[in-house]
Amino acid sequence: MSENKVLGVSDIVLMNIVAILSIRQIPNVAPYGASSVILWILAALGLFVPLAMVCGELSTGWPKEGGIFVWVREAYGPRIGWMCAFLFICCCVLFFPMMLQFMMTTIAFCFNESLAANKVFIGVSSIIIFWILTFMNIYGMEWTKKINNFGALFGVIVPGIVLILLALYWVASGHPMQTDYQTAANWVPNLGKWSTIVFLSSMMFAFAGMEVSPMIAGRCKDPQKDFPRAIFISAIIIVGIYILGTIALNTIFPANDANIIAGIMQGMKMASVNLGVPWLLPLMGILIAIGALGQINSWLVGPIYMLNVANSEQNVLGTKINEMHPKYNTPAFALIIEAILVSVFCLSTFVSPSMEAAYWTLTALNTLCYFIPYLMMFSAFYILRKKFPEVKRSFKIPGKVLPIILPAMGFISILFAIILLFVPPDQIDLGNLLVYELQIAGGGVLFALIGDILYQRALKKNRQGGNQTAA
C-alpha cells in the first residue's frame, strides 16, 4: 500500500468535524424553536452532501495548492479564477470582524452584560485582538498548531457536550423546558413566510468548509468507498450536534428571547442562576471564546497563500504582496494589509443600529462573498467533467445520476441562500430596509468590480511590458 494511502474513514470524519462544526451557529437558529430541527436537516441536504462530493472529486483531480481557485481557473480561465480567489479573500476579511464580535460579546457578557451591547468597546477590542494575532503570525507560526487544536477541543467539542449535558440535567432536576417542543405544529417550519426561512442562508453557511477535508480524499485507503462513507457519518454527527445543541439551548432558555450573538451565554446565565452554579457562565464564556479565537487564527494565514498563488499569474496586486518575511518566512506584508481592512470593517459596529444589526450585516456580506465562489465551483464541475475527462480522479461521484443531480442541488441551494440574504429577519432591527439591501448588494458588486478592475489593470500593464497572457 502506498505511504500516502493511509487515511481511513475516522480520519476524514474528524477533519470534517473540526473544520465545520461551530458552536456560534446554534444561537442563529435557536429562535425558531422546534422547527429548527427540520431547517437544520434541509440545510444539510441542500448543501452539505453536494459540497462534500463535488469538492472530493475536484480536489483529487487537481490536487494543487490554491484549491477552489485552481478548479475555477481550469474551467473558466484565469480572469474568473482570479475573481473567485479575490471574493474568497473578501469573505475572510468580513469573516474576521464577525467572529471577533462574537468572541468579545461572549467574553463581555460573562463579566459585565452591559459591555456586550457597547458598540465602541466591541469594535475597539476586536481590532486590538486581531492586530495581536496578526503580529504573532508574522513572528512565528509554530504556536498556531497548538492553538488551533486547543481551540477545536476546548472551544467546540467540550462546550457542545456541556450544553447538551446541562439541558439533560435541567430537565432531570424538575425544571420545565423553556421552549414548547410538545406541540406537533411547532415542528413544522412556516416556509411560506420569507421572514421565517431567511435564516436558512445562515444555516447553510454553518455547513460551509467542506472544501478543506476533501483535499485529503486522494490519500484515502479506498476513496471510492471510504470518502462517501465518511461524508455520511460526518453529516450525522455534525447535523446531530447542531440539532441537539439547538434543542439544549431552547430547553434552558426561551426560543423567542434568544439573541443571535449572545444566545448561548443567555442560556448559561439562566442555568447558572436556577441551578446554583455561578461558575458555569464564565467557564462557558471562556471556552467559547477560545473556540472563536482558534477559528480566527486557523483562517488567518491560509487564504493568504491561496491569494499568493492567484496573484502570481498576473501580479494583480503587485509582487510585494507575495513577499515573505526575510527571517520568519511568513507573508508579513499581506497580513498587515489584511489587518488594516479587518480593522475598517470592525468599525462598522459604530454606525449600525445595534450590535445585532452589525453582526447580521457582516454575516450577510460574508455569506455573499463566500457563496459566489461556490456557484462558480458547482458549475465548474460540469465543465471540468466534459473538458478534461482524461484527468484521473482518485475519487469520483458514483453513478450516472448523482454527478448530475448533486452539483445542481448545491448550486440551487447556494443561489437560494443568496436570495434570502436580502430578506432581513424580523428578530433584528436593521434600520431602513432599502439601505440594508443596498449595503448587501452594493457590497457584493463593489468587491467584484474592485477585483475585476485590478485584474484588467494588471493585464494591461503586463501586455505593455511584453508579458502577454490570455484573459
Q: What is the pLDDT of residue 469?
A: 47
Indicate the pLDDT class of residue 195, thresholds 50, 70 and 90: low
The SS3 assignment for 260 reads coil
Nearest to 156 by CA among 216, 99, 213: 99
Indicate the pLDDT class of residue 443, thresholds 50, 70 and 90: confident
Q: What is the pLDDT of residue 2?
A: 47
Give the chain's mean pLDDT: 80
Q: What is the pLDDT of residue 79?
A: 92
- Residue 144 and residue 302: Cα distance in Å, rounded? 12
Q: What is the pLDDT of residue 372?
A: 92
- Residue 174 and residue 98: Cα distance in Å, rounded? 37
pLDDT tens digits along 54-77: 988 888 888 766 778 889 999 999
The SS3 assignment for 323 reads coil
* Fold (topology level) of 9-462: Amino acid/polyamine transporter I (1.20.1740)
pLDDT tens digits along 223-253: 667 766 777 788 788 888 899 989 999 998 8
Q: What is the pLDDT of residue 188?
A: 85
Does position 381 have pLDDT exceeding 90, yes or no? yes
Nearest to 418 by CA among 440, 447, 446, 445: 440
- Asked if residues 210 and 52 have their Cβ atoms less than 8 Å apart, the reply is yes
Q: What is the pLDDT of residue 90?
A: 87
Indicate the pLDDT class of residue 352, thresholds 50, 70 and 90: low
Q: Which of 246-260, 371-385, 443-457 has the highest mean pLDDT?
A: 371-385
Indicate the pLDDT class of residue 409, thresholds 50, 70 and 90: very high
pLDDT tens digits along 83-121: 998 998 888 888 888 888 878 887 887 777 778 778 888
Nearest to 304 by CA among 283, 334, 325: 334
Q: What is the pLDDT of residue 129?
A: 92
DSSP state of 157: I
Q: What is the pLDDT of residue 3?
A: 44
Domain boundaries, the chain: 9-462
pLDDT tens digits along 297-341: 777 766 777 787 788 777 888 777 878 888 877 788 888 988 998
Indicate the pLDDT class of residue 156, thresholds 50, 70 and 90: confident
Please state the separation of Cα 115 from the chain's center in Å: 26
- Of all residues in the chain, what percent carry a pLDDT higher than 90? 16
CA distances from 103 to 114, 126, 217, 298 (A): 15, 8, 33, 15
Q: What is the pLDDT of residue 199?
A: 64
Which residue do the cell numbers 498548531 mark? 145
Q: What is the pLDDT of residue 1?
A: 42
Indicate the pLDDT class of residue 20, thresholds 50, 70 and 90: confident
Tell me the DSSP string of 272-319. HHHTT-TTHHHHHHHHHHHHHHHHHHHHHSHHHHHHHHHHHHHTTT-S
- Residue 278 and residue 271: Cα distance in Å, rounded? 9
Tell me the DSSP string of 26-73. HHHHGGGGGGHHHHHHHHIIIIIHHHHHHHHHHHHHS--TTTHHHHHH
- Residue 263 and residue 102: Cα distance in Å, rounded? 11
Q: What is the pLDDT of residue 257?
A: 77
